[in-house]
Amino acid sequence: MLITHDAECALSILVELLNTAPEACGSEQLPDVAALGSFVVRQEISEVGSLTPADLAAVHALRTQLRDIFSAESTPQAAELVNSVVAAAGTTPRLTNHDQHGWHIHYFAPHAALGDHLAAELGMSLAFIVMAGERERLRRCDAPDCARVFVDLSRNRSRRYCDSRTCGNRLHVAAYRARQRSAEAVVEAVVKAVGAVPAG
Whole-angstrom distance, CA of residue 106 vs CA of residue 26 = 33
In the chain, alpha helices (H): 5-18, 22-25, 33-42, 53-70, 75-88, 114-131, 169-196
Contact region for Zn ion (CB under 5 A) — 22-30, 117-125, 137-145, 171-179? Answer: 137-145
Binding mask 8-27 for Zn ion (x = CB under 5 A): --------------------
Which residue type does 196 have? A
Query: In 3-state terms, what secondary structure has residue 73?
Result: coil
CA distance 55 to 100: 28
Candidates 166, 109, 177, 108; CA nearest to 141 is: 166
Q: Which stretch binds Zn ion (CB under 5 A): 14-22, 25-33, 157-165, 181-189?
A: 157-165
Among positions 120, 130, 143, 149, the unique one binding Zn ion when judged by CB under 5 A: 143
Compute the distance between CA of residue 163 and CA of residue 172 in angstroms, rounded to an integer: 12
Among 17, 85, 86, 141, binds Zn ion (CB under 5 A): 141
Cα gap 59→113, rounded to integer Å: 10
Which of the ranges 14-22, 55-63, 148-156, 191-199 carries the binding residues for Zn ion, by CB under 5 A?
A: 148-156
How far apart are the C-alpha atoms of 117 and 36, rounded to whole Å?
A: 14
CB 135, min distance to Zn ion, A:
20
Strands (E), the chain: 94-96, 104-106, 138-140, 149-151
- Secondary element (H or E) of residue 21: none
148, 149, 151, 171: residue in contact with Zn ion (rule CB under 5 A): 148
Instruction: Report the residue number, 157 or 181, with the smaller CB distance to Zn ion.
Output: 157
Q: Could you tell me the smallest distance in angstroms from the CB atom of residue 159 to Zn ion?
A: 11
| Member of 146, 149, 151, 171 binding Zn ion (CB under 5 A) | 146
Q: How far is the CB of 90 from Zn ion (least distance, A)?
A: 18
How many residues in the shown chain lie near Zn ion by CB under 5 A? 6
Binding of Zn ion by 130 (CB under 5 A):
no
Site for Zn ion in 158-177 (CB under 5 A): 162, 167
Using CB under 5 A, list all residues that contact Zn ion.
141, 143, 146, 148, 162, 167
